[in-house]
Amino acid sequence: MVETSIPETMGCWAMPAGNFDSQLISVGMAQWNFGTGSLQPVLTAWRGQFRHKRDFKRARDALAPSYGKLLFSKDCLAVPVADKCRAAILAAEDEKGRLTPVLAAELTALFESDAMLQVQTDTYIALLDKVRLDLLRVFPAGPMTLRKVRWAIDTRVQQGFLPGDEDIARLRAKLAAMPEAERWPRLRAIFDWYGALARTIDQDGISRDAAWNVAAWNCLIDAGRVDAEQYELMSLTFLRSRTAIGNSGRWQALAFERRAKIVLGVGSVSGVRDGACPAA
């Protein structure tokens, strides 16, 4: 849970964000948001903890006196959110999609309250059960390593699901038939794809990372520090990252570098660098 929250909220339980990525509002240790419909169940679960409606209203008004009624309105709890809710939230953000200080403070108070901490924990545990089923499907023969678990959690948190069975079967067939001489050039080509994508005009969140990552990851190949499990996971990462569709693919490079850092143990995400290659 801590590792998930660091790239999303810098380790905080709340850290609300506005519509900069077209998700309207993102908040919580896994950045649940209105855009994908992941925030509505969290808000509904918090409301459901109260036995009496008056207790819910009292707690809501204490934590979010200005925006509580809006956040818990029927329009905002709908999936997708209704136009009335969307318009009201956008009115509480600036032209760059940043939340007003009042709305940000009220979301922080709500998501750092004891009851909401429990809801976030319960929601994350439910996510882990889905990840367990994902791992059994994608890696039926095992073994279930910590690297695979971390990779699967991040993929599901960010993109909702892991690659489908048909795509995995096609990829593994190609990997099995690939001549040994093509092995490392193929992986370098994936790194080249990421590097080229990062240099295009409409990729965000990677300006401090891409050049360092490409150099460090290629260095790992040169140093013989990519094992068979990492190779397959990098191929699966490429498979899923190239289908990241938010803002018409605006975050594909970021999605890739997050998973690559987990898989390779070396990488830079949001300017935070972990690990290194001896020659880098």
Number of domains forming the structure of the chain: 2
> Which residue, of 92, 121, 150, is where some domain finishes?
121
Outline where the chain has alpha helix (H). Answer: 2-9, 39-48, 53-63, 68-71, 74-77, 83-90, 101-111, 114-138, 146-159, 165-177, 183-198, 210-222, 228-241, 252-264
Q: Are residues 213 and 151 in the same domain?
A: yes
Judge whether residue 109 has pLDDT over 90: yes
- pLDDT for 279 equals 62
Q: Are residues 116 and 181 in the same domain?
A: no
- pLDDT for 3 equals 75
Q: Are residues 7 and 91 in the same domain?
A: yes
Among candidate residues 186, 184, 191, the one with its CA nearest the CA of residue 223? 184
Q: What is the pLDDT of residues 184-210, one digit of tens each?
A: 999 999 999 999 999 999 998 899 999
Q: Is residue 64 part of a domain?
A: yes
Q: Are residues 109 and 151 in the same domain?
A: no
Q: What is the pTM of this model?
A: 0.84
Q: Are residues 166 and 238 in the same domain?
A: yes
Q: Are residues 152 and 101 in the same domain?
A: no
Judge whether residue 42 has pLDDT over 90: yes
Q: Are residues 105 and 214 in the same domain?
A: no
Q: Are residues 111 and 63 in the same domain?
A: yes
Q: Is residue 197 part of a domain?
A: yes
Q: Is residue 26 part of a domain?
A: yes
Q: Are residues 205 and 250 in the same domain?
A: yes
Q: Are residues 100 and 146 in the same domain?
A: no
Q: Are residues 10 and 81 in the same domain?
A: yes
Q: Are residues 268 and 147 in the same domain?
A: yes
Structural domain span for residue 61: 2-121
Q: Is residue 175 part of a domain?
A: yes
**What token pair was written down for 158?**
């960010």
